Homo-oligomer: A and B are copies of this chain.
Amino acid sequence: MKKPEHIIILGAGLVGSLLAVYLLKRGYRVTLYERRPDMRKVQIPAGRSINLALSDRGWRALEGVKLAEDIRRIGIPMKGRMIHPQQDEIYFQPYGKEGQAIYAVSRGILNCTLLDLAEKAGAEIIFNQRCSSVDLANNTAKFLHSDTNQASEAKADLIFGADGAYSAARLQLQFTDRYNYSQTYLEHGYKELMFVANADGTHQFEKHALHIWPRGGYMLIALPNLDGTFTVTLFFPFKGNPSFEMLDSKQKVKSFFSEIFPDAVPLLPTLEEDFFQNPTGSLVTVRSFPWSFDNKLVLIGDAAHAIVPFYGQGMNCGFEDCTVLNQLLDEYDDEWEQVIPAYEQHRKPAADGIAELAVNNFYEMRDLVGHPDFILRKKIEAWFSEKHPDKWIPLYTMVTFSHIPYHEALKRGKQQDAIMDEVMKQPDIEKNWQSEKVEQRILSMLN
């Protein structure tokens, strides 16, 4: 394979734009093709973002091309979860140690910023081009103009599919021999709403927290925006009781929210209108393999491994794809026929790991976070981890504030969970957890 000179990236979303910057800095000529119009020039339809939470893996990828400072200006640190029980007082659970935080970022603002930075780095970006198919034998992507339906095509030495969960590039691979593929939907969907700001533009709830209303089978969450609003998301069953299907009138929506999320309702002045105007999104996990074809087409980000949003890792994982790819390009001196298989071998188990973690975290967020047992577990873990940071890192910290491969975090998390199950069975654990006996018990199980 001769060294590629011109690379096409399908999709100018978050991962596609960042990948473009990485490849441009390595000296490749890069053209991005994007299905949608230029979002810097048109209004983005409301209600489809699921606000993003940038954490350490994402930051490292941005730092790799010196973009972190630009992005940090548009982020809001969230230091923990603010839990809103249905009856009791709200309370705070820190995500990690002092100084650790995840950053709420608006998807739209972040994407616009990355498009600017990609263009500044030399990318050509062509909008309104929907990829209709990829001619794998001839390295050629085929497009239809999103408005006029006019056909066109483009050939390159290498094509990246960064075109998201419903990737056209991946669909092409799906028809090749022995392609492993799955798409799995949760029985829950999501609906986006908006908390209004105070009159002076400040936030009506604590700004430096991710707010959760855990309600067992479902939950409401809220992430702060720069303008004092919060982006609010209801994760809710499509069918059953309660469900989207049941809330079929404005009156039912109002009375449901008033009963279940009482402190949220005053911040949702247009609740009933928004509820029926905004779309109901679905939540899919996509697994695929291989992520490449004949060193001509490579999948990256959601196109390779879309996950559900409950660990806040979708974008972070896609950004980490870029970091790892770049490291491998360094390591193999841009010999793509070595880089591509190594990239797949590195990232496939990681992607499978975070896919599992993300689904698991839904149960934690919507249910467990509100239970006294869960809170005690987290306390014991934090206490022990502080005493033995070399022996124990809480799972959330491994995923969010470390670069431990996701599958390794998943495995260690399961081992730690089994140990905590034992610890929680100790008599009077809620009283004597800060004891040497408990410490020794954990140490003995770790060996």
A222-263 vs B, Cβ < 8 Å mask (1 yes, 0 no): 000000000000000010000000000000000000000000
The residues in A between 258 and 287 inclusive whose CB is less than 8 angstroms from any CB of B are 282, 284, 287
CB atoms of B178 and A181 under 8 A apart: no
Assess the B184–A183 pair: CB atoms within 8 A: no
Q: Which residues of B contact A185 (CB under 8 A)?
A: 178-180
Copies in the complex: 2
Query: Is A182 located at the chain interface by the 8 A CB criterion?
Result: yes
In this assembly, does A177 line the interface, its C-beta being within 8 Å of a C-beta of chain B?
Answer: yes
Docked CA distance A178–B287 (Å): 15
Q: Are the CB atoms of B180 and A181 closer together than 8 Å?
A: no
| Closest Cβ neighbor of A280 among chain B residues | B177
**Of B178, B183, B238, the contact of A179 (CB 8 Å cutoff):** B183
A282 touches B177 (CB 8 A): yes
- Complex: chain B residue closest to A184, CB-CB: B180
Write out the residue numbers on chain B whose beta carbons fall within 8 Å of the beta carbon of A178. 185, 238, 282, 284
Chain A, range 151-183, C-beta contacts under 8 Å to B: 174, 177-183
- CB pair B183–A183 under 8 Å, yes or no, is no
Complex Cα–Cα for A178 and B285 (A):
11
Q: Which residue of B lies closest to A166 (CB)?
A: B175
Q: Is the interface of A mostly helix, strand, loop or mixed?
A: strand
Kindly list chain B residues whose C-beta atoms are within 8 Å of the C-beta of A180.
Answer: 183-185
Could you tell me if B183 and A181 are in contact, using CB atoms closer than 8 angstroms? yes
Q: A183 contacts which of B182, B238, B282, B284 (Cβ < 8 Å)?
A: B182
CA distance A185 to B289 in the complex (A): 10
Query: In the complex, what distance in Å separates the CA atom of A181 from the CA atom of B182?
Result: 5
A238 and B178 CA atoms in complex are apart in Å by 11
Question: Which residues on B sit within 8 Å (CB–CB) of A179?
Answer: 183, 185
Specify which chain B residues have a CB less than 8 angstroms from the CB of A182 in the assembled complex.
181-184, 287
Closest B residue to A287 using CB positions: B182
Residues on B with beta carbons closer than 8 Å to the beta carbon of A287: 182
Across the interface, which residues of B come within 8 angstroms of A284, CB to CB? 178
Bound Cα distance from A411 to B18, whole angstroms: 48
In angstroms, Cα B282 to Cα A178, docked, is 7
The smallest C-beta distance from A63 to any residue of chain B, in angstroms, reads 37
CA separation between A177 and B179, bound complex, in Å? 22
Query: Which of A184, A238, A282 has most chain B Cβ within 10 Å?
Result: A184
Residues on B with C-beta less than 8 A from A183 are 174, 179-182
In Å, the complex CA distance between A155 and B182 comes to: 31
Bound complex: CA A77 to CA B323 (Å): 60
Query: Can you give 10 contacting A-B residue pairs, CB < 8 Å?
Result: A174-B183, A177-B282, A178-B238, A178-B284, A179-B185, A180-B183, A180-B184, A181-B183, A182-B182, A182-B184
15 A-B pairs besides A177-B282, A178-B282, A181-B183 with CB distance below 8 A are A174-B183, A178-B185, A178-B238, A178-B284, A179-B183, A179-B185, A180-B183, A180-B184, A180-B185, A181-B181, A181-B182, A182-B182, A182-B183, A182-B184, A182-B287
Binding site for B on A (CB under 8 A): 174, 177-185, 238, 282, 284, 287
User: What 9 A-B pairs come out closest when comparing CB atoms?
Assistant: A182-B182, A178-B185, A178-B282, A181-B183, A180-B184, A180-B185, A177-B282, A181-B182, A180-B183
